[in-house]
C-alpha cells in the first residue's frame, strides 16, 4: 500500500525536500509526491524543477508567506472534499524557518489528518559535520533583519548554555557575525556552514572575533545560504558575597523586607541577586 493511501482519511503530508543535492530526497517523499492529488508549494516554479527531475506531474498550488492564511482555507476545502495533498517548500521542511506552520495549524484545528515526511535538514546537517561536542542546541532560525532588533535578540540569548544555531542570508552575513561577536563575545567559537550539500559547500571554524575578517577576505565566502553554530556560553563561576556586600545587606535588612533589601543590595554592590538572596536567608535564620 502506498504512503499516500495508507490513511483512510484525506491527509496533508508535510514533505521535506532536498536543501541542495536532489539525491537527498527520500524514497518515501518521492512516493508521496507521486500519489497525492496535488502539491502545495512555496514557489511553484522551483517545485516544478524538482518534480521534473523525478518525472512527476502534479497539480501545484501556490502557498507562500504572503498568502498562507488564505491558501490554508483553499487546502482545507480540497481535503474536506476527499483529496490528499503534499505540502513542500523550496528546500528543507515546511514550517521550519519557511512557510507551512500556519497551514498545518489551520488544518489541525479543523481535524484534518497531518503526517510528516521527514528528510534533509540544514540544521542537523551542519551540526553533524561541525564537530561540536556540547550537549544540546537552541535553533533560533533567522535573526531579525533590523540591527537593533538583532542585537536585542542576541542579548536575550547570550547566557544560554547550549550551542546556538542560526540561519542567515548572504546580504546580512557580515553585519550578523559582527553583532554576534559584539554581543556574545569574540572568544566564543563559531562554525560557519555555507551552501550545505551543494557544489561549494564550506565549513569554517574560528573565534567570533575572526569571523568577519575571514568572510571579507573572500567575497565568494559571502554567497549562498548560511548556518551559523555558536558555542555555548561558558559556565558562570559562583561568586562569594564579599564583606562590603554583606555589610550593605545587613544594614538594609534592619529596615526593609527581605526581597526589597536584596534588590537594593544587588544594585548597590553589583553582586548577583540570587547570591544575596541565599545569603539573606542565612542571616534571617
Rounded mean pLDDT, 126-153: 95
Q: What is the pLDDT of residue 2?
A: 47
All three cell numbers of 20: 541542495
**Sequence-ordered alpha helix ranges (H) in 11-121:** 27-35, 44-53, 68-80, 101-109
Q: Confidence band (pLDDT; 50, 70, 90) for 236?
A: low
Q: 10-24 b/e with 16+ CB inside 10 Å = b?
A: bbbbbbbbbbbeeeb
Rounded mean pLDDT, 227-251: 84
Beta bridge partners of 189: 207
Whether domain 9-120 has CATH 3.40.1010.10: the reply is yes
Q: What is the pLDDT of residue 3?
A: 46
**In the predicted structure, residue 122 carries a pLDDT above the cut 90:** yes
Q: Are strands 11-15 and 85-88 parallel, antiparallel or unpaired?
A: parallel
Q: Which fold has domain 123-230?
A: 3.30.950
**In the predicted structure, residue 271 carries a pLDDT above the cut 90:** no
Closest alpha carbon to 30 in 20, 40, 19, 15 = 15
Q: Confidence band (pLDDT; 50, 70, 90) for 247?
A: very high
Q: What is the pLDDT of residue 28?
A: 98
Rounded mean pLDDT, 193-221: 97
- The overall average pLDDT reported for the chain is 93
Is 182 or 135 the better-scoring residue by pLDDT? 182
For residues 158 and 234, is the Cβ–Cβ distance under 8 A? no
The pTM of the full predicted model, rounded to 2 decimals, is: 0.79
Rounded mean pLDDT, 160-183: 96
Amino acid at each position: 500500500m502506498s504512503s499516500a493511501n495508507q490513511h483512510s482519511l484525506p491527509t496533508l503530508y508535510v514533505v521535506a525536500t532536498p536543501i541542495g543535492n536532489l539525491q537527498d530526497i527520500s524514497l518515501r517523499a518521492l512516493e508521496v509526491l507521486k500519489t497525492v492529488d496535488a502539491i502545495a508549494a512555496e514557489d511553484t516554479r522551483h517545485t516544478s524543477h524538482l518534480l521534473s527531475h523525478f518525472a512527476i506531474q502534479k497539480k501545484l498550488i501556490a502557498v507562500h508567506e504572503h498568502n498562507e492564511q488564505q491558501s490554508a482555507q483553499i487546502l482545507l476545502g480540497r481535503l474536506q472534499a476527499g483529496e490528499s495533498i503534499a505540502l513542500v517548500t523550496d528546500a528543507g521542511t515546511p514550517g521550519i524557518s519557511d512557510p507551512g506552520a500556519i497551514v498545518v495549524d489551520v488544518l489541525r484545528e479543523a481535524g484534518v489528518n497531518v503526517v510528516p515526511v521527514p528528510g534533509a535538514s540544514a540544521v542537523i546537517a551542519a551540526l553533524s559535520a561541525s564537530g561540536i561536542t556540547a550537549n544540546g542546541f537552541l535553533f533560533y532560525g533567522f535573526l531579525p533583519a533590523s540591527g537593533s532588533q538583532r542585537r536585542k535578540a542576541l542579548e536575550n540569548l547570550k547566557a544560554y548554555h547550549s550551542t546556538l544555531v542560526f540561519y542567515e542570508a548572504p546580504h546580512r552575513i557580515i553585519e550578523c557575525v559582527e553583532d554576534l561577536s559584539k554581543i556574545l563575545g569574540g572568544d566564543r567559537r563559531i562554525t560557519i556552514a555555507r551552501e550545505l550539500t551543494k557544489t561549494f559547500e564550506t565549513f569554517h571554524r574560528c573565534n567570533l572575533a575572526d569571523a568577519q575578517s575571514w568572510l571579507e577576505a573572500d567575497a565568494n565566502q559571502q554567497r549562498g545560504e548560511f548556518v551559523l553554530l555558536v558555542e555555548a556560553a561558558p559556565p558562570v563561576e559562583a561568586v562569594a558575597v564579599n564583606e562590603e556586600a554583606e555589610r550593605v545587606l545587613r544594614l538594609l535588612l534592619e529596615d526593609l523586607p527581605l526581597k526589597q533589601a536584596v534588590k537594593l543590595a544587588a544594585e548597590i554592590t553589583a553582586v548577583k541577586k540570587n547570591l544575596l538572596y541565599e545569603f539573606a536567608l542565612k542571616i534571617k535564620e
